[in-house]
């Protein structure tokens, strides 16, 4: 019997690493992304190498119509075992007031509304079969406010707490749920977005490969851990910062700004 994994935001980085890994494990894939040529190349690669089916959906989850197009594909699927909500937008290296509200809303649609709608679509089938995995990609930024990333930090904190609540609701129903909270990861977005100063000065900004992040995620999943923070330094930061005096805590958040 076939088994299917859905991976959003699979064009590159963590999403592409999940796609390659799960294809190796024999999963047929439904993958989404915004860059048609790049994601189709990935689909052709993993399909040929692993003899699995790969369905590509070009989608920008800041647009409701694109979310709905994916939901139409999924509504008659009854073999979805894994959902990985990885699609994301990075936020902006500007202060909140310097951007139109519609730009902030794109982050809410991509990081909050789209994952909720996908989960609502596939969850009844998982509960019926008493089998399924949901991984929502949050961020180390969900633990620390950062100057210039107000909405990004906010939506990632939502993802983390939303996932924790889902874990509590679903852990007795045969469904594994995880919030993946990576720090700086060596992706094209990371290299373009963060300043060299930030990467040089902050220990956790040295970065992990997407493949290592995915390996940590799947290892934690096997241990039924609801949250995965790849990297010892990232775990130390997430636990230490909230316990610091407010002035020091906010100073760290300001230091981590992506502003050049």
Active site residue 162: no
For the range 105-112, what are the long-range contacts, defined as Cβ-Cβ under 8 Å and sequence gap of 24 or more? 105/62, 106/62, 107/62, 107/151, 107/152, 107/155, 108/151, 108/155, 109/61, 109/62, 109/63, 109/64, 109/67, 110/61, 110/62, 111/155, 111/156, 111/158, 111/159, 112/155, 112/158, 112/159, 112/162
Taking the C-alpha atoms of residue 144 and residue 255, their distance in angstroms, rounded to an integer, is 11
Residue identified by tokens 């950062």 is 146
Taking the C-alpha atoms of residue 44 and residue 50, their distance in angstroms, rounded to an integer, is 10
Taking the C-alpha atoms of residue 256 and residue 259, their distance in angstroms, rounded to an integer, is 9
Half-sphere exposure of 80 (CA within 13 A, CB side): 26
Taking the C-alpha atoms of residue 35 and residue 82, their distance in angstroms, rounded to an integer, is 23
Which residue in the list 152, 162, 167, 184 is annotated as catalytic? 152
Show which residues are catalytic. Answer: 152
């Amino acid at each position: 019997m076939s088994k299917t994994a859905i991976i959003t935001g699979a064009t590159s980085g963590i999403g592409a690493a999940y796609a390659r890994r799960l294809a190796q494990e024999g999963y047929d894939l439904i993958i989404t992304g915004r860059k048609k040529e790049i994601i189709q190349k990935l689909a052709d690669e993993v399909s040929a190498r692993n003899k699995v089916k790969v369905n590509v959906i070009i989608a920008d989850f800041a647009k409701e119509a694109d979310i709905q197009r994916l939901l139409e594909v999924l509504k008659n699927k009854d073999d979805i075992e894994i959902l990985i909500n990885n699609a994301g937008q990075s936020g902006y290296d500007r202060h909140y007031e310097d951007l139109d509200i519609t730009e902030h809303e794109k982050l809410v649609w991509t990081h909050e509304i789209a994952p909720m709608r996908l989960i609502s679509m596939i969850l009844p089938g998982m509960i019926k079969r008493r089998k399924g995995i949901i991984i929502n990609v949050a961020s180390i930024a969900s633990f620390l406010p950062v100057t210039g990333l107000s909405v990004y930090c906010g939506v990632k904190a939502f993802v983390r707490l939303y996932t924790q609540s889902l874990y509590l609701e679903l852990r007795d129903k045969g469904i594994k749920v995880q919030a993946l909270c990576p720090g700086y990861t060596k992706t094209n977005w990371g290299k373009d977005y963060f300043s060299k100063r930030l990467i040089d000065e902050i220990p956790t900004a040295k970065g992990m490969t997407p493949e290592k992040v995915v390996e940590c995620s799947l290892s934690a999943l096997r241990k039924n851990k609801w949250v995965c923070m790849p990297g010892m330094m990232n775990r130390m930061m997430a636990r230490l910062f909230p316990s610091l005096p407010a002035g020091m805590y906010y100073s760290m958040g300001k230091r981590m700004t992506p502003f050049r």
